[in-house]
Structure 1
Amino acid sequence: MKQERKSLRKDTRGFTGLEAAIVLTAFVVVAAVFSYMVLGAGFFSTEKAKAVVHTGVEQTTSSVELAGNVIGHADSEECNGLRNVTLYLQLTAGRTPVDMNKLGIAYTDKYVYNGSLVHSDDTAYDPQHVNTDNVTAPGTWDYAFVPDQTGNPGNGNNMLDADEKVKVFIWLPAEVGDGLGYVTVYNWFQVEVKPEKGGSIAIKKTVPGAIDDVMILYS
């Protein structure tokens, strides 16, 4: 009888040790799963943060940038003020193509603000060659792709691609210069280019003291 009791005690101790091993293994497995979940959540949060930063950069930086000088054109009648502006644009490095037909242009000076100049839809306008005679309505603008060294003006559509440049001609609004229709000497003006996606670029210039028919606006 005593031997039977001893045998039972030994069996109980053996079962308790096995149970402890199972519980310990369960704890290890649960801890491993929990750690994996925490790491996974951390990786997801990191990727989400990267995506948010990337989206923020895309929304705040402009898709286009200046690709040359800003050219001023004087009032054709009296040459006593600035009436037209020509500028050149290209894609910012790493950005996707820009639809030029969805571009917005705003104008500001100390007398007037026009938040959306009209994109000229003159059917006589040649999209490969800017002809100022076809953009004669104040407060309008149009564009033409600049031919490359081989004379190729681009792929023939309205998308500004990475290897292309575009020439934008702007006829200033009639209200500029306090109703004169042109900006007089030493006065500033600002043209804001607003792509469909990304931030806008503001181009602020001052009309020099001497007016020429065509002039580079340095400041």
Structure 2
Amino acid sequence: MPGRRKGKKAIVGIEAAIVLIAFVIVAAALAFVVLNMGMFTTQKSKEVMNQALNEASSALEVDGSVMAYVSTSGKVVAIYIPLKISPGQQAVDLSTDKIDVVVRLPNGTFLKVNSGVAAPASTPVNLTRLYEDSATSTSINATFYIVQSLQNKGVPAFNVLEVGEKALLVIYLPTDLELGPYQSFTVEIRPLAGAPLTIERMIPPTLPVGEVINLV
């Protein structure tokens, strides 16, 4: 009889050990699932935050002074906006169907005035010549020029502005939309990704005829 009692205790001990091991395995599996889900959730949260940050920040920024050309009429007939990729942002496609340029003038708001990307401008850039090239149009239009390219050594083959490159947006104003002293304008550049870039300027009181002026 005493021997049998010892045998039963051994069996009970083995069963308890098996149950305990099973509990440990299940707990470890649950802990792994919880940890994995936590890491997955953290990664997704990071991606959402990065995406929200990219959407809230503009992919383009003004690279220098916004300028304007004063014609013989004594009014501004062309606006020049130098552009580059913002730090930490990706390349921007400047094709007509990939970006939108909106111009707000005292006479009204004009949507989708961009006419695409022209051949690279000469170096140094002749702003007067760019105005003359645009002056053939009878309506307001905006043209992008890649003035500093890292691709194909300046050969006009790409409409994408890459990091390290520079572009110049030339906006031509026809006779009925020319800007005089103290008048203001707003240009909004809307790429596919990121927040729009908004540029607001006012025309100074003194406009020297036939010259390019800086707009503060």
Aligned partner of 2:121 among 112, 115, 128: 128
Report deviation, 1:47. 0.6
1:95-140 CA-to-partner distances (Å, cap 9, x unmatched) read 222222233211113441122214168xxx6443462222122321
Report deviation, 1:71. 0.3
Report deviation, 1:78. 1.7
Instruction: Report if aligned partners of 1:105, 1:193 keep a CA contact under 8 Å in 2.
Output: yes
Give 5+ residue unaligned stretches, structure 1. Answer: 175-179
What is the TM-score normalised by the length of structure 2?
0.83
1:16-39 CA-to-partner distances (Å, cap 9, x unmatched) read 111111111111111111111111
- Cα 1:173–1:54 change in 2 (3 A) is farther
Q: Output the CA distance in 2 between the equivalents of 1:43 and 1:147.
A: 43
Report deviation, 1:45. 0.5
Does 1:19 find its partner at 2:15? yes
RMSD: 2.3
Question: Percent same amino acid at aligned positions?
Answer: 26
One-letter amino acid of the structure 1 residue matched with residue 181 of structure 2 = V
For 1:166, the equivalent position in structure 2 comes to 167
Report deviation, 1:165. 0.7
Instruction: Tell me the number of residue pairs that the alignment of Structure 1 and Structure 2 aligns.
Output: 201
Q: Output the CA distance in 2 between the equivalents of 1:65 and 1:118.
A: 17
Instruction: Report if aligned partners of 2:116, 2:144 keep a CA contact under 8 Å in 1.
Output: no
Greater Rg, structure 1 or structure 2? 1
One-letter amino acid of the structure 1 residue matched with residue 48 of structure 2 = V
Q: Output the CA distance in 1 between the equivalents of 2:141 and 2:163.
A: 26
1:138-182 CA-to-partner distances (Å, cap 9, x unmatched) read 32111222247xxx54774222111211111101367xxxxx412
Give 5+ residue unaligned stretches, structure 2. Answer: 123-128
- Cα 1:63–1:77 change in 2 (3 A) is same
For 2:93, the equivalent position in structure 1 comes to 99
Report deviation, 1:49. 0.7
For 2:51, the equivalent position in structure 1 comes to 55
- Cα 1:60–1:173 change in 2 (3 A) is farther
Q: Output the CA distance in 1 between the equivalents of 2:85 and 2:47.
A: 22
Select the structure that is richer in strand.
Answer: 2
